[in-house]
A and B are shown apart, each in its own frame.
Chain A
Amino acid sequence: MQPVICQPAANPSLFTAEGMVGLIFLFLIATVITGALIATMARRLIRAVAGLAVCFTGVAGIYYFLLSPFVAMMQMLIYVGAVSILIAFAIMLAEPEYKDPIGRKNPPLAGPLGFSVGALFFAAFTLLGLNTDWQVFPREGTGDMHHMGITLLTTHSMVFELISIVLLIAIIGALVVARRGRD
């Protein structure tokens, strides 16, 4: 299958299968934006974690649209099922007392400055993506699970083993750091 950058000629109506798929895609984009808004704007941290889970659910759906259901499944398992729950546990263990935002000691420029920096990055990367003439290479290989597994265990086998060692060291280090000062 030859990759396509865009097909502006295809113009499906809403009442065909392609139109329904496009509608589902728009819904997923709305899910991602809503989750990101909740994760950055919510005052209470537990709501921010819920927004993060919503945002990553939408991202998993978009991965499904990018023709890789396996990575979408891994996104749901690792991010929504593990990392969000881990952060929720940390909030339960280290509950910050809810401060009234009126009496905050923060520098008053933090909110507007962060918003302007984020908007600047968004505008820069959007313009960069829209104005670059991307070069399409011819495909070699299919990209399904079989091909992915062979590539993972032949070309990238060294990185695969290193990742396992890194995870082991991270878990042992986390145990040591959280344990120190207990007794």
Chain B
Amino acid sequence: MIMLNLYNCLNTYLVIGAMLFGFGIYGFVARRTIIGMLISSEMILAAASMNFMAFNRFLAPNPSIGKIFTLFIMAIAAAEAAIAIAIVIAVYRNYKSIDTEDLVDLHG
């Protein structure tokens, strides 16, 4: 049962991170609303954090730096989500829609 030893391999975590990144890119391109794109961008950030944590566990000389970097990514992602949602609410108040197709017109 080689499947049961996957958690000791670096490549497993790299493949999971790449998968999350691919899902995030797909959602970012294919979603029609701003909030959907925000959800996908959070998944892209989680993929980057996964890579940092994997290299921190298996390769890094100092096993704290990857964890600290992941915590910084979480803080920046929280700030980004707060600002993005404020912008979404302001846009919805002006345009009465958050569909990206409706936001290409400039209202003077």
Contact = CB atoms under 8 A, between A and B. Distances in A.
A and B held together in a complex:
yes
Most chain-B Cβ atoms within 10 A of its Cβ — which of A26, A52, A78, A121? A121
A23 to B, nearest CB: 6
Contacts of A124: 18
Contacts of A10: 5, 8
Given A90-B85, A118-B22, A106 B101 contact: yes
Contacts of B90: 177-178, 180-181
B63 A139 contact: yes
B2 A8 contact: yes
Contacts of A134: 10, 58-59
Contact of B6 (A22, A117, A139): A22
Given A29-B16, A62-B16, A122-B19, A136 B79 contact: no
Interface of A: 3-8, 10-14, 18-19, 21-23, 25-26, 29, 32-33, 36-37, 39-40, 45, 48-49, 52, 55-56, 59, 62-63, 65-68, 70-71, 74-75, 78-79, 82-83, 86-87, 89-91, 93-94, 96, 99, 104-106, 110-111, 113-115, 117-119, 121-122, 124-126, 129-130, 134-143, 147-148, 151-152, 156, 159, 163, 166-167, 170-171, 173-175, 177-178, 180-182
Given A113-B29, A174-B82, 18 more contacts: A5-B59, A7-B8, A22-B4, A29-B16, A40-B30, A52-B39, A59-B46, A71-B70, A78-B75, A86-B85, A94-B98, A96-B33, A118-B22, A130-B11, A134-B59, A151-B65, A166-B79, A174-B86
Interface of B: 1-33, 35-36, 38-40, 42-43, 46, 49-50, 53-54, 56-65, 67-68, 70-72, 74-83, 85-94, 97-99, 101
